[in-house]
Structure 1
Amino acid sequence: MKILFTFKIKTSFKQQLKEKYPNVDFIYTTNIDEVALGDIEVIVTDGGDLKSGHVEKATELKWVMVAAVGVDTLPIEALQARKILVTNSHGVHKMPLAESVLAHLLSLERGLPGIYKREAEKNWELDSLPGEVNHSTALIVGTGAIGGEIGRLLQAFHVRTIGCNRSGHASPHMNETIPLDDILEELPQVDYVISILPSTPQTRWIYQPEHFRAMKETAVFMNVGRGDAVKEQYVLDALKHNEIRHAVLDFFETEPLPKDSPFWELPNCTVSPHMSSLSDQYIERSLDIMDINLEKWVAGDQDLINQVDLAKGY
């Protein structure tokens, strides 16, 4: 059995795999085009390097393990046509992304950006009194593992959490849950809108200008999901017209964000360079999931964890 890794991993993990699976031929590369793919059974990738042409060449390919959560960059149709099993690293983003959300909200409410600015200016005087996260209301759009962890942390600060998912089914750490179709009615009641939606046909460009007009003028909009959930121009217009207080944006339509983008200059916008889910523990967590599945695979068990429904996109 040949298994191809298309991203760098630590030498210690390579050694661990070699010792645990002596009959498996592990191949490592950072350029998939340099590898003969004909007899590769498993490909472990961290994202968009796998193309339909690679799937076509990999005639023995049976499983693609994605060391990330999003699978929208994969050649979905080619994988579906071959009925190739795809798993992801669902759950690895939960802790760092939830911490990022909480950090941004606490920073904004407790006035940390102003503290740093006044420190640089050696200015003692406050511009305005800081606020509190305590007893606010957050709408968490997307109630999977990440949304649940965000809800858990916010509830520790006495925040009322409203989850939002397709059907409105009850979700952990949410005081209530609403269906996606009811989001417009809920927006005028909430202080924070936290979007962690994946990129799917159903969620693409889901936020329209009327959504921002429905939000409180004091609301914070945070997109730590995919960039194609909202058009950048809609957020820009909302910020420029003070329809919302602040936006924290971790994803953009074009990345890296161009230097001439007005987002860089807006005082009521925080540009986060696609880093909210990053952590020095990220790869280790992904490889732990891969190891669980690999142990099953080698034993002939294809009931792997984190299987992706390619038709749904998650």
Structure 2
Amino acid sequence: MTKSIVCLQHLSSGQQEMIRAAAPDYTLTLGDSRNPDLELLSGAEIIIGWGKGIRDTVLRQDSPLRWVQAWSAGVEKLPLEALKEREILLTNASGVHAEPITAVILSFMLMFTRNMHTAIRNQQSRRWHSDGQESELTGKTVVIAGTGAIGSETARIAKAFRMKTIGVSRSGRPVENFDQVLTTGELKHSVREADFVINTLPLTDETRGLFDAEIFSACKQGAYYINIGRGVTTHTDDLIAALNSGQLAGAGLDVFETEPLPEDHPLWGMEQVIMTPHCAGVTDRYADRVVDIFVENMKAYLESGKPSRNLVDYSRQY
């Protein structure tokens, strides 16, 4: 009996051929995450992506499903407990976003240090003005919460600007391009010397609401906060209060507690805030990178029965 791979995302002909070459004994069928074919999915051993309404079909007791390759780095929207109970292997797309998201983080940092966000507003109003407060990244300290692919790439580029890099992770293990790595329990201590605090954390029970009034009040006066991780890791009201008081000089935000951000939300009108609509990880190279991960994992799966890259630890939720 032919084994089945169903991909719920669009793939180019070249990307399809890469998967078929890596899994010659499997059929590859494309589906639609917005309108999934449940009959097709009911026979899938491997699913690439996920779709609403497929849970009961693919996680039934006699389902042949053995492995899900998520299309995103975050997996909090998937039924993790049910997948764990069925002992389904789950891999994510961690690493796909490192280059484009690092570019967004550095864009925020450069805009704030060079006051480019105010320059754009001045241009729109035909106003020739500088308040003389422009600065630079050289010699500044950046604290990056999350030392995975995005955090590590950000630290690498920050080093090119001769910045001091401090990482914060669950383990506190040393990571290349970080001058120092502290544990999550030391986050409050770490932000005291930061000119920029970067949040790249996934959403887990431990990170939910982690950045709150206590953390923001511990920040150096005039620091900048950047969040490209998950919106729910930040108490928005506490962030706004820190911005209004001047404790924080500004914020670069790609993610929010509520998305889309309501039109009447106060963040829209704050001139010290730069926002992007949860698109920091968007890139025309996204699918290529996910397919590269999947093909590498497929080879390991055929050899050992388990993917080798980005295997999600259900106990950690990432």
Give the TM-score band, short-chain normalised. Answer: over 0.9
2:145·2:167 contact (CA, 8 Å) conserved in 1? Answer: yes
Q: Paired residue for 1:133, among 137, 152, 161? A: 137
User: TM-score scaled to structure 1, two decimals?
Assistant: 0.93
Distance in 2, Cα, partners of 1:15 & 1:167: 39
Q: For 1:281-303, what per-residue CA distance to the aligned partner results, in whole angstroms no more than 9, with x for missing partners?
A: 11111111111222333456424
**CA–CA separation in structure 1 for the residues paired with 2:285 and 2:150:** 16
Distance 1:150 1:4 in 2: 34
Q: Is the 8 A contact 1:141 1:197 kept in 2?
A: yes
What is the deviation of 1:11?
3.1
RMSD (Å), alpha carbons: 1.9
Moved more, 85-94 or 116-125: 116-125
**Residue number in structure 1 paired with 2:74:** 70
Structure 1 gaps, min length 5? none
What SS class does the counterpart of residue 217 from structure 2 fall into? helix
The counterpart of 2:57, out of the listed 54, 57, 77, is 54
Q: Quick check: 1:12 aligned with 2:11? A: no
How many aligned residue pairs are there?
313
Work out whether 1:110 is the aligned partner of 2:107: no
Give 1:104 deviation, angstroms. Answer: 1.0
> Over residues 120-173 of structure 1, what are the superposed CA-to-partner deviations in whole Å (9 max), with x where a residue is unaligned?
333333233311111011111111121111111111111111111123221211
Mapped partners of 1:175, 1:84: distance in 2: 38
Contact 1:139 1:163 (8 Å CA) reproduced: yes
What TM-score, normalized to structure 2? Answer: 0.92
Tell me the distance in 2 between the aligned counterparts of 1:178 and 1:295.
36
The one-letter code sitting in structure 1 at the alignment partner of 2:52 is D
CA change 1:271–1:173 in 2 (3 A) is same
Please state how far the C-alpha of 1:275 moved relative to its aligned partner: 1.3
% identity of equivalent residues: 30
| Aligned twin of 1:23 | 25
- Note the C-alpha offset of 1:49: 3.4
The one-letter code sitting in structure 2 at the alignment partner of 1:257 is L
Distance 1:184 1:18 in 2: 49
For structure 2, list consecutive stretches of 5 or more residues without a partner in the other structure. none
Q: Secondary structure at the match of 2:69?
A: strand
Give the structure 1 partner of residue 264 of structure 2. Answer: 260
Shift of 1:77: 1.1
Contact 1:219-1:245 within 8 A present in 2 as well: yes
